Structure 1
Amino acid sequence: MVKKTDNEVPINGLYDEDGRVFPEEQPGEQAGTVDVEVGDETEVSLSQEELVALCRESVCPGCDVHKEAEAIRLRALADSENVKKRLLRENEEMKKYAGESVLADLLPVLDNLDLALAHTGGLDAACQNFVIGVDMTRKLFLDAVKGHGLEAVAATVGADFDPGVHEAVGTVEQEELGDNQIAQVVQQGYVLKGRLLRPAKVMVNKG
């Protein structure tokens, strides 16, 4: 230890208050930093990204929490796909049957044309042109609505009664017809793009 005399002045802070010389800093060392080593253990610091990566690679894949979280994620994806498909299906259905209400309102027009043609028996020759005109109007009307997917239900006298597209409004007994066959078509039925819009009202034969 080197003692300073009363006449000596510390040079560049080399001495402390008791006259002891400060140790010189070694090259590469920074003041205020201390490396501490306890036995063979060394402290390791990781960034947040490194911790997440370590968790994913080493810990989570085999733990129950990860498996449960993965199952929840897969269920959420499946539910999301199901909702998406349902919305697309509903949207397609809406587009497909967008004109259903309008076409349903037009059915009474067809009914009145059918009634007019059903009561043409016994008319004189002067009225035949009128009947022809009504029939042509009905055909043009049917062609127009057919372009939008509206078609008449198959219902003719002698055909078998089909509860899927026919509605029985009464029964009759006719020997020339078989049991459960259509004896009379009271009102024509219609389907819109394969979906029943209105069943055909018929009289059914019961032999």
Structure 2
Amino acid sequence: MAKNTNEVPINGLYDDEGRILEEQAVEGRSDNEAESAEESAEVSLSKEELAALCKESVCPECDMFKEAEAIRLRALADSENVKKRLLRETEELKKYAGESILSDLLPILDNLDLALSHTDNLSAECKNFVVGVDMTRKIFLDAVRNHGLEAVQAAKGTEFDPEIHDAVGTVQEPSLGDNRIAQVVQNGYRLKGRLLRPAKVMVNKL
């Protein structure tokens, strides 16, 4: 019985001329289709999967791998250094946040010290006023001391230190040694160990 040319091949078992395909040919077509599917699966790998495959295929002893590893380690080190620097700058900013405010308050202390330095030959009424000024100075000094402010050591007779003292003039006093502080013109202050203002002094020169 002749094959009807109008029939549609079922399940791909006939070729274009109406002949029945061999089972092996059908199986071969299935193998090709399976290979195409595998290729499609490989192409659809994510970037992370491709990176993992690439890393597995690179020999750890080759120069390219060592160079890539060195670049990665340098990037990690740079990132860690940036983090440490930012943390250090943040801590320092917090530590000295009140520096400008305390600097503006120093003239108040200077005026109180100046008022107390002119208390000789005063009447009893004025002396009571001076006591009030002195108490005000102590309260004010205690308040700023709680924020880390402390006076620079600059007593008469101590050795002149250019790191914390500012010489505004020289005098000659035989009773004092050479390069010794003869007079404190203006007190100096530190803020949490950092010099906020040097003490202005007169230095003895023999």
Q: What is the TM-score normalised by the length of structure 2?
A: 0.81
Task: State the Cα deviation string for residues 117-169 of structure 1 (Å, max 9, x = none).
Answer: 00111112221101101100000000000011011111100111111111000
1:30 has 2:27 as partner: yes
Q: What amino acid is the match of 1:10?
A: K
1:9 has 2:6 as partner: no
Equivalent positions of 1:185-196 (< 5 A) are 185-196=184-195
Contact 2:15–2:21 (Cα < 8 Å) also in 1: no
Structure 2 distance, partners of 1:188, 1:159, is: 14
Equivalent positions of 1:172-191 (< 5 A) are 172-191=171-190
Structure 1 window deviating more from structure 2 (57-66 vs 117-126): it is 57-66
Deviation of 1:18 (Å):
8.5
Structure 1 window deviating more from structure 2 (147-156 vs 66-75): it is 66-75
Q: SS of the residue aligned with 1:177?
A: coil
Structure 1 distance, partners of 2:71, 2:118, is: 69
Q: What amino acid is the match of 1:9?
A: A
Q: What amino acid is the match of 1:98?
A: A
* Residue of structure 1 in register with 2:144 after alignment: 145
Structure 2 distance, partners of 1:111, 1:34, is: 97
* Residue of structure 2 in register with 1:74 after alignment: 73
Structure 2 distance, partners of 1:107, 1:18, is: 108
Deviation of 1:57 (Å):
3.4
Structure-2 change in CA distance of 1:15 and 1:95 (3 Å): closer
Structure 2, unpaired ranges of 5+: 33-37
Structure 1 distance, partners of 2:134, 2:180, is: 27
Deviation of 1:51 (Å):
6.7
Deviation of 1:23 (Å):
5.3
RMSD over aligned Cα atoms:
2.9
Structure 1 distance, partners of 2:94, 2:67, is: 41
Q: SS of the residue aligned with 2:60?
A: helix
Between the two proteins, the alignment pairs up a number of residues equal to 190
Deviation of 1:33 (Å):
3.9
Deviation of 1:32 (Å):
2.1
Structure-2 change in CA distance of 1:79 and 1:173 (3 Å): same
Task: State the Cα deviation string for residues 22-69 of structure 1 (Å, max 9, x = none).
Answer: 35426xx5362467xxxxxxxx97945887555423434122222111
Q: SS of the residue aligned with 1:111?
A: helix
Q: SS of the residue aligned with 1:32?
A: helix
Deviating 4+ runs (over 6 angstroms)? 11-19
Q: Which has the larger radius of gyration?
A: 1
Structure 1, unpaired ranges of 5+: 1-7, 36-43
Structure-2 change in CA distance of 1:128 and 1:51 (3 Å): closer
Q: SS of the residue aligned with 1:169?
A: strand
Q: SS of the residue aligned with 2:23?
A: coil
Identity %: 68
Q: What is the TM-score normalised by the length of structure 1?
A: 0.80
